[in-house]
Amino acid sequence: MGKTLKVLGWLIGMVLLLIIAAVILIPMFVDPNDHKDRIVAEVKKATGRDLTIGGDIGLSVFPRLALELNGLTLSNAKGFKEGDFAAVKHAEVGVNLLPLLIDQLLEVDTVRVEGLKLNLARSKSGVTNWDDMLGKTEGEQESVEVESPRQDKAGLMAFTVGGLSIKEANLVWDDQSTGERYQIDNIYLETGELAPGRSVDLNFSMDLASRKPLLKGGVKLTSKMLVKPDEQVFSMQDLQLAVNLTGDGMPEEGVKSLLEGNLQVNLTSDILDLHDLELTSGKLKLTGRVQGEEIQTNPTFKGDLNLAEFNLREWMNQFGLPVPETADEEVLQSLFLSSDFTASPDQLVLKNLLLELDQTKLKGEFEMVNFASPTYLFNLVLNTINVDRYLPPTAEPGRAPAKPSKGGSENEPLFPNELLRGLRLDGTVRIDSLIVNGLQAEAILLKVRGRDGKLNLDHEVGRFYDGLMKGDVQLDVTGERPAINLTQKVSRILSGPLLLDLTGKDTLLGSGDLDMQLTSRGNTVKQLKRGLNGQLSFDFRDGAVKGFNLAKMIRDTKAKLKGEGTMVLNEPEQTDFSELIGRATIVNGVVNNQSLLAKSPYLRLEGSGKAYLLEERLKYTVRPVIVNTPAGQGGEALEDLVGIPIPVKIKGNWNDPDFSIQLSKILEEQQKAKLKQKLDQKVDEKIGEKLEEKVPEELKDKLKDKLKNLF
């Protein structure tokens, strides 16, 4: 047995001796440079490309297996620009043999690469300049199947590397099919020893340039990197990524940004944690944390982000972005954003959302489902906003923007049909206080629903000029022309302050109700006016119509008839009423009102006529009847007109209509009244004579009245 072991040991020793002798003698008698031509020929045979070896090939076997290459170039594919596809000035790598043979431990020396150049390109037909090395032809570009990624969790190979050193590397991507061209120069990568469970310093930098879009800049990354293959853990502590860019859309001095944080990835638990995140760029500062789950199979990320308050107007100016001209130059001064988030490949959820713009605060929740065909869900609360401050300035401070000129904006499209047809949303917005176009509203509730080109907006306003407003707007853009259906009910509003804020003139005073049911079709203001149909009704109490004094107008007209001068009295240019009621129908943009009724202590008024929305003109007649006259203040001048209908014509542009009283009608009605009065007097006398002797005294007056009414 001992002899056998002795022989076996002798054989093993001889084998080891032969291996050592071969390792020592092979480099002495075999020069790899003698085989350059064969290597070039084999590469040509395999790829169809020309390989050039301009420098020496270094080979060593013991105590380390090492390979050194110098001056390598590989030609470009056919059909692409002449030049090199790839080039390497110097590259070397080595492996220590004894640890590998004895301990099965892979120890790789520092891998060094210098002067790497890689030119990647795609032709106008979509072929890349490396497809030929993959065995693909132009016709096979779209049909080649890509192996599906394995669903099992990826592992980290346990090995030790003395370090990585890449210097003066350059990469170009030229896409002729899109015109995009990116160039990365001076790629630098340097690490310490890469060993399992041991942190290593990582330094990386590069310069980059792009033709479309036009960009130029530099990137620098530093970190302490740790890899634990057994636990499948990867981390980067004290991560710092600095980016400096100039080019299109950038400020003249460029943009400098710095990303800091700590990253840890655990492939066994399939989680990711990026904490102490901080991104700064000028006066912008974003902080937060990102955590990931199932990152290899079905990644889901959650965390929180906070954008510190900054001056939005200054930031837009810095980046050369157009700052909108606003009525208030003090807006767009302050912006702040914070939110918790959850994100997956097909969903984004924002909770505890807080957006602050100047004095406006927006809170709530927002959700986006299915990125390919998104649905938006939201529940938001807005404290207060004055939209007029953000609109273009007007000629009169505090007034709503000037009305666009006719023929201009009236013919411009109102609704982005294609966008609305694909819009899916369902949400609620509550607004404490809102000012828009001069109008003020409080306690607003908006419910928005939209799908497949049909949108619905339910709205309630709890405080609207001391009244309530509730309604529903439906917009259908599925057809060639959008269709609108509006139902609106307003209760107990003060019309004076409302009109004053809306138009600058309180032409109608009083408190009242308004109901509307309207429909129309069109995508411009002009089309909507022409296609407007529906009905409306109103009921106002204890108010006045400002701009004309109907009693004064009648009194002055009567004075002209008699050739007398008009009375000068200190009285307002308005016509008071105790109630104003009316109904109207609208057909193809023409408002037809045949039932207007107004009452005051001294007047009863009926009216009828039409308003033409396209032409913005009126054709209307009101028929006031004086039922009583006030004492003094010119009331005695109207006494003989009591009970006589007085037609007043109103026509012309509704912003400045003409008023005229039909004098002939007044005379005619006045004569009728006088004749009736005389007839009544004659009848009264005749009846009195007949009844004088035959009827008891107590029945005379009653019989006179009844008999007189027969005539």
pLDDT value of residue 669:
61
Q: 176 with 124: CB under 8 angstroms?
A: yes
Q: Which residues pair with 534 in a beta bridge?
A: 518, 586
pLDDT value of residue 662:
65
- The 3-state DSSP class for residue 156 equals coil
| Region of poorest pLDDT, from 489-498, 509-518, 682-691 | 682-691
The mean pLDDT value of the chain amounts to 81
- The 3-state DSSP class for residue 297 equals coil
Segment 386-399 shows an average pLDDT of 75
Confidence band (pLDDT; 50, 70, 90) for 397? very low
Task: Name the residue with tokens 């400020």.
Answer: 251
Segment 584-589 shows an average pLDDT of 95
Confidence band (pLDDT; 50, 70, 90) for 146? very low
Q: Report percent pLDDT > 90 for the chain.
A: 41
| Region of poorest pLDDT, from 32-36, 107-111, 688-692 | 688-692
Q: pLDDT by residue (tens digit) across 187-201?
A: 999 998 888 788 899
Rg over CA atoms, the chain: 45
Q: 630 with 603: CB under 8 angstroms?
A: no
Confidence band (pLDDT; 50, 70, 90) for 155? very low
Query: Which has more confidence, 293 or 637?
Result: 293
Which token pair is 422? 């694909």
**Sequence-ordered alpha helix ranges (H) in 426-524:** 495-503
Query: Which has more confidence, 547 or 527?
Result: 527
pLDDT value of residue 402:
46
Segment 365-389 shows an average pLDDT of 95
Q: Cα(16)–Cα(337) distance, rounded to whole angstroms?
A: 71
Q: 477 with 453: CB under 8 angstroms?
A: yes
Residue 667 vs residues 626, 634, 677: alpha-carbon distances, Å: 15, 20, 15
Q: Cα(381)–Cα(389) distance, rounded to whole angstroms?
A: 20
pLDDT value of residue 357:
96
Q: Is 461 exposed, middle or buried (0-12, 13-18, 19+ CB in 10 A)?
A: buried
**Sequence-ordered alpha helix ranges (H) in 458-549:** 495-503, 525-530
pLDDT value of residue 286:
95
| Region of poorest pLDDT, from 136-150, 323-337, 386-400 | 136-150
Who's near 570: CB < 8 A, 6+ residues apart?
A: none
Task: Name the residue with tokens 């590989």.
Answer: 74
Confidence band (pLDDT; 50, 70, 90) for 353? very high
Segment 36-49 shows an average pLDDT of 84
Give the residue from 471, 461, 467, 470 showing the smallest Cα distance to 441.
Answer: 461
Strands (E), 588-657: 590-599, 603-612, 617-626, 648-653
Q: 57 with 51: CB under 8 angstroms?
A: no
Q: Cα(14)–Cα(412) distance, rounded to whole angstroms?
A: 96
Segment 210-219 shows an average pLDDT of 85
Who's near 677: CB < 8 A, 6+ residues apart?
A: none
Note the Cα 253 to chain centre separation in Å. 29
Q: pLDDT by residue (tens digit) across 515-527?
A: 999 999 999 999 9
| Region of poorest pLDDT, from 82-86, 217-221, 278-282, 641-645 | 641-645
Segment 363-371 shows an average pLDDT of 95
DSSP state of 282: T
Give the residue from 471, 416, 469, 415 showing the smallest Cα distance to 441.
Answer: 469
Q: Is the per-residue pLDDT at 339 higher than 90?
A: yes
Q: Cα(672)–Cα(412) distance, rounded to whole angstroms?
A: 56
Q: 134 with 145: CB under 8 angstroms?
A: no
Give the angle 311-316-318 at the CA atoms, nearest 5°.
95
| Region of poorest pLDDT, from 90-94, 202-206, 645-649, 671-675 | 671-675
pLDDT value of residue 79:
83
Q: 230 with 196: CB under 8 angstroms?
A: yes
Q: 279 with 308: CB under 8 angstroms?
A: no
Q: 282 with 254: CB under 8 angstroms?
A: no
Give the residue from 367, 335, 362 showing the smallest Cα distance to 351.
Answer: 367
Confidence band (pLDDT; 50, 70, 90) for 588? very high
pLDDT value of residue 395:
54
| Region of poorest pLDDT, from 52-66, 80-94, 357-371, 554-568 | 554-568
Q: pLDDT by residue (tens digit) across 594-630?
A: 889 988 877 788 899 999 999 889 999 888 887 765 5
Q: Which helix (H) or strand (E) holds 627?
A: none
pLDDT value of residue 43:
84
pLDDT value of residue 696:
56
- The 3-state DSSP class for residue 40 equals helix
pLDDT value of residue 4:
44
Q: pLDDT by residue (tens digit) across 86-111?
A: 999 998 888 877 666 666 667 788 88
